[in-house]
Amino acid sequence: MQKMEELELELELEMELFIVVLMTCMSMMVVWLIRKRGGRKKVPPSPRGVPVLGNLHQLSLLPHRDFLVLSKKHGPLMLLHFGRVPVLVVSSADAAREIMKNHDLSFADRPRYKAHKKILYNGKDVVFAPYGEYWRQAKGHFILKLLSNKRVQSFRPIRQEETALFVHIIRESSGRPVNLSHMFFNFTYDGVCRSALGRTYSQSDKGKEFLVLMMQMTEALGAISIGEFIPWLRWIDRINGFDEKVDRIAAGLDGVLETVIQERLGNQVESLEDKTEVDFVDILLQIYTHDVSTNRDSIKAIILDVFGAGTDTSAVVLEWTMTELLRHPKAMLKLQQEVRGIIGHKKDITDDDIDRMHYLKAVIKESLRLHPPFPLLLPRVATRDVKVKGYDVAAGTVVMVSFWAIGRDPELWDEPDKFMPERFLNSSIDFKGVDFELIPFGAGRRGCPGIAYSMAVIELLVANLVAKFDWKLADGKDLDMNEGPGITAHRVVPLHAVATVVA
């Protein structure tokens, strides 16, 4: 009898436990169904990936070209996966406006890659610094005290002298092939050296070392490191030499910059008013002296920004602009006629002259459309969950805006693959970050602050080159139009041309 009662009690307990488990499971299922129905995420279209790699296997050394091909199939908002990292690729002006205007604050941060952190002093620069109070202060110094219109105008004598020197070298080489790609980089490098450091360095051993390191820096900052996206494969970056290369570049740049700062500190005057010529380092050192939040690493990182924005970017624009003019003799002739007609018999071209050169400005805009210095604008990262054009984008998603694709969008541009400067002659579209059809320098909070400086350099040199010389290709053959790898899109084959002095 007692055993029967114990058995009945056990059965009752088991039944009660079964009912509790069943009710718990049913409750969990109801919650799951509610969440699934009410909170289902609508993610952007995505090409099929493979385990572990995601979509990394679909990329080459020129990812902007790969993205263009993929976006034609999957649309202007496309979600890829680089290992475990979601990457949103934006390939239309409307989608770019959503990211960089309507949701600019949600996408104001930068991803933190080890090459950027190592070379740029753990985010102490402006371009790649994390979004926050330090970035706001550094950008304020950068724009107001280094790249304001007043400051850009103060560097006019340097631009004129460096342009005159470039013209002199071309004149001395008249009738012989010259490597314009190499000359453009040296030209922009010397101009930035004088503006930033007070003198040229290209002929010194340290200067030549720094020039090489700067070129290697742009390539390293644009490289895709598999260890960033698949942490357990970080060993590959050690085996293939990427980590060692980044360490060498960072140490080399730091050594040159430290030497420059030490020299300047040893000769520093108390007030900028006591100097006849003021450069970027003078201004940064004065900030460093009076602002404890700006340390030595900040100065070095911002100097690297100045060189990166003022040297490589401008050289790329000059390189591709002359490439297209050489490929299109009618456009070259039309530009020569405009420039020569405006300056007449004057020896020097002034800023007022350039303001009247509408076809010159159209040529540069068209060059920027077809050959942006950054085919993929510098990456951003979502700081919160946000909805973009009806799609859900999760916090932590890296965003890459492909201006390479936007500049070739047939819905925006007639015959988008053709070089046609005339399309801009009666157009108000500009590249300053308001018109999203033409954003080679980005837009919003993270847009490039150095546009005025770069354009002043580019316009003056191009005007002088077409005014004072007739040009032809060195070998008379078609040009290789491919770009090399890196964060900026240099020609993979340097541009060689022959100049003849205009009588």
Q: What is the pLDDT of residue 132?
A: 92
pLDDT band, residue 275 (cuts 50/70/90): low
- Does residue 16 form part of some domain? no
Mean pLDDT score, 234-254? 91
pLDDT band, residue 218 (cuts 50/70/90): confident
Query: With the C-alpha atoms ordered 102, 105, 106, 107, is the resulting torsion angle positive or negative?
Result: positive
Cα–Cα distances in angstroms (integers) from residue 502 to residues 110, 465, 467, in the given order: 49, 10, 8
Cα–Cα distances in angstroms (integers) from residue 476 to residues 12, 155, 326, 493, in the given order: 97, 38, 10, 15
- Does residue 234 form part of some domain? yes
Asked if the model's pLDDT at residue 92 lies above 90, the reply is yes
Asked if the model's pLDDT at residue 167 lies above 90, the reply is yes
Chain-wide mean pLDDT for the chain?
Answer: 86
d(CA 249, CA 232) in angstroms, rounded, equals 25
Highest average pLDDT, of 21-30, 252-261, 286-295, 362-371, comes from 362-371
Mean pLDDT score, 246-272? 80
- Does residue 14 form part of some domain? no
- Does residue 7 form part of some domain? no
Asked if the model's pLDDT at residue 470 lies above 70, the reply is yes
Find the length of the chain: 503
d(CA 172, CA 166) in angstroms, rounded, equals 10
Strand pairing report for 85-90 and 398-401: parallel
Q: In what order do the strands lie in the sheet with 496-501?
A: 177-179, 496-501, 469-473
Query: With the C-alpha atoms ordered 456, 459, 465, 467, is the resulting torsion angle positive or negative?
Result: negative
Q: What pTM does this model have? A: 0.86
Asked if the model's pLDDT at residue 259 lies above 80, the reply is yes
Highest average pLDDT, of 33-47, 201-215, 222-236, 322-336, comes from 322-336
pLDDT band, residue 143 (cuts 50/70/90): confident
Mean pLDDT score, 384-394? 95
Mean pLDDT score, 122-149? 86
d(CA 197, CA 192) in angstroms, rounded, equals 8
Asked if the model's pLDDT at residue 272 lies above 70, the reply is no
Greater confidence, 360 or 219?
360
* DSSP-derived secondary structure letter, 482: P
Measure CA 308 to chain center. Answer: 9
Q: What is the pLDDT of residue 21?
A: 41
Looking at 92-96, 104-108, 270-274, 461-465, which range is the least confident one? 270-274
Greater confidence, 412 or 476?
412
SS3 letters across 295-351: CHHHHHHHHHHHHHHHHHHHHHHHHHHHHHHHHCHHHHHHHHHHHHHHHCCCCCCCH
% residues pLDDT > 70 (the chain)? 87
Asked if the model's pLDDT at residue 39 lies above 80, the reply is no
Residue 378 tokens, joined: 């510098």
Strand pairing report for 496-501 and 469-473: antiparallel
d(CA 52, CA 44) in angstroms, rounded, equals 20
Answer for the pair 158, 286: CB distance below 8 angstroms, yes or no.
no
Q: What is the pLDDT of residue 497?
A: 95
d(CA 235, CA 212) in angstroms, rounded, equals 27
Q: Helix, strand or coil for residue 370?
A: helix
Q: Residue 215's domain spans which residues?
A: 41-501
pLDDT band, residue 14 (cuts 50/70/90): very low
Highest average pLDDT, of 30-44, 144-158, 301-315, comes from 301-315
Q: What is the pLDDT of residue 194?
A: 84
Would you give the end-to-end CA distance of the chain in angstroms?
126
Q: What is the DSSP string of 232-280?
A: GGTHHHHHTTHHHHHHHHHHHHHHHHHHHHHHHHHT--S-GGG-SS--H
- Does residue 24 form part of some domain? no
Q: What is the pLDDT of residue 291?
A: 59
Looking at 143-157, 195-209, 226-240, 285-299, which range is the least confident one? 285-299
* DSSP-derived secondary structure letter, 107: G
pLDDT band, residue 89 (cuts 50/70/90): very high
- Tens of pLDDT, residues 398-450: 999 999 999 999 999 999 999 999 999 989 999 999 999 999 999 999 998 88
- Does residue 176 form part of some domain? yes
Mean pLDDT score, 328-335? 97
Mean pLDDT score, 470-495? 86
Mean pLDDT score, 371-376? 94
Greater confidence, 286 or 403?
403
Q: Residue 68: which of 373, 59, 135 has the closest Cα?
A: 59
Residue 270 tokens, joined: 């108390």
In degrees, rounded to 5, the angle at the alpha carbon of residue 105 between the alpha carbons of residues 101 and 106 is: 105
Q: What is the pLDDT of residue 37?
A: 43
Asked if the model's pLDDT at residue 93 lies above 50, the reply is yes
Report the number of distinct structural domains present in the chain. 1
- Does residue 36 form part of some domain? no
Q: What CATH number has the domain bearing residue 381?
A: 1.10.630.10
- Does residue 334 form part of some domain? yes
